[in-house]
Amino acid sequence: MQSEQLCTKIEILRVIDVDLETTAEKLKARLCLLDGVLQADVNCSAGKIYVEYDPSIVSPEDLKEVVQITTLQFDDNKIIFERGRG
């Protein structure tokens, strides 16, 4: 029997000029509600959001949209996709 191998990717969103401490738990919860997101973590002191997800189900743009909607403080220039690892 062959098992399906899940191919996941990790995106690191670098956030500028936003107080993540006030929204960290809400961001994690809302990101994890997206189909295809396996886990999310927020490093407030580094200003980074780490998201492990299945790129066949959810896109980096979807992740960015959730962050923007959740914080209501971001504009397009405040969130930078720093790098992804797969």
* Domains with residue ranges and CATH for the chain: 9-85 (3.30.70.100)
Name the nearest CA neighbour of 15 among 73, 54, 61.
73
What pLDDT shows up at residue 49? 92
pLDDT value of residue 11: 87
Q: What is the pLDDT of residues 25-78, one digit of tens each?
A: 888 999 999 999 999 999 988 888 999 999 999 999 999 899 888 876 544 445
Cα–Cα dist 71/11, whole Å: 18
What confidence score (pLDDT) does residue 81 get? 54
Residue count of the chain: 86
